[in-house]
Amino acid sequence: MSSRKKLIAGNWKMNKTSADGVALARDLVVAIGKQAEVDVVVCPPFTAIESVGKALEGSNVRLGAQNMHHEASGAFTGEVSAPMLRAIFATHVILGHSERRTFFGDTDEFVNKKVLAALKNQLRPIFCVGETLAERESGATLKVVQTQVERGLEGVNRDQAASVIVAYEPVWAIGTGKVATTEQAQEVHAFIRGLLTKLFSEPVAQKVRILYGGSMKPANAPELLAQKDIDGGLIGGAALEARSFVELVTAAAAVK
Ligand code: 13P
């Protein structure tokens, strides 16, 4: 087993009112609030994030956001900043999710600015990359992922790089029930670690956690999480119910 601690992160996307989010957070605190074998993060929508953070207080479950702007403040209607997230005790932020890239125009350059701003503010980016079905079918997967990683992490220094979390999320596997095979996932994860070695050094690359995301469920998680370079999961649908999310954390804890 690698020395990297497994990480299970829940991306609630545009789901859960504040009250629903608090109820889920309370269930998680009861079930997994004290375990320390696996790092656990939940990322509620902005309207729920502060109240969920309060419900998580005193537990080992960390709080993350699903996006942020790279500027600290100013005339950016509809946006929130890294200092605002820090002020409500968020520790992580998902950046460059494919849904942001597809529907909201997040480019590699924009994502890169956000990654740098997150690191400057001691927020750990969960930096997402992944190919579309058309890109996979045309054999472009590794090239696409390489470009996203190189551009998204431009200007990140070696000291900062170890606190970046990369999430490999093949777009065709998100919310579709079509999970990547363990071989497909491991191949891309190993490729990303190789890139990180070139960009930052071998010791840094060995520290970076690379999560898999895309229809990860309790049934397929043990096999995925047993792969050498898969250090956890970024979970959508299965993070919306305490039972399945807890089972994923248990599965990650069981990997030897
Ligand atoms: P699903 O687990 O619903 O496929 O979503 C994955 C995802 O996009 C997490 O960020």
Give pLDDT tens digits for 144-194.
Answer: 999 999 999 999 999 999 999 999 999 999 989 888 899 999 999 999 999
Average of per-residue pLDDT values in the chain: 97
Q: Which of 12, 43, 235, 240 to mutate for ligand 1's pocket (most ligand atoms within 8 Å of CB)?
A: 235
- For 49-58, write each residue's pLDDT tens digit: 999 999 999 9
Catalytic residues: 97, 169
Give the confidence band of 120 by pLDDT, cuts at 50, 70, 90: very high
Say what the pTM is: 0.98
pLDDT in the model for residue 188: 98
Q: What pLDDT, on the 0 to 100 scale, is given for residue 122?
A: 97
Q: Is the CB of 175 under 6 A from ligand 1?
A: yes
What residues contact 240, with CB distance under 8 A and at least 6 apart? 10, 12, 15, 16, 24
Share of the chain above pLDDT 90, in %: 96
pLDDT of residue 1: 47
Q: Which domains does the chain have, with CATH numbers?
A: 7-254 (3.20.20.70)
DSSP string, the chain: --SSPPEEEEE--S---HHHHHHHHHHHHHHHSS--SSEEEEE--HHHHHHHHHHHTTSSEEEEES--BSSSSSS-TT--BHHHHHHTT--EEEES-HHHHHHS---HHHHHHHHHHHHHTTPEEEEEE---HHHHHTT-HHHHHHHHHHHHTTT--HHHHTT-EEEE--GGGTTTS-PPPHHHHHHHHHHHHHHHHHHH-HHHHHH-EEEEESS--TTTHHHHHTSTT--EEEESGGGSSHHHHHHHHHHHHH--
| 244 in contact with ligand 1, CB cutoff 6 A | no
Main-chain phi, psi angles of 64, to 5 degrees: -130, 160
The pLDDT score that the predictor gives to residue 177 is: 87
Nearest CA to ligand 1 atom 7: 236
What is the average pLDDT across 207-235? 97
Inform me whether the pLDDT recorded for 128 exceeds 90.
yes
Q: How many CB atoms lie within 10 A of CB 139?
A: 8
Does 2 score more than 90 pLDDT? no
| CB-ligand 1 contact for 130 (6 Å cutoff) | no
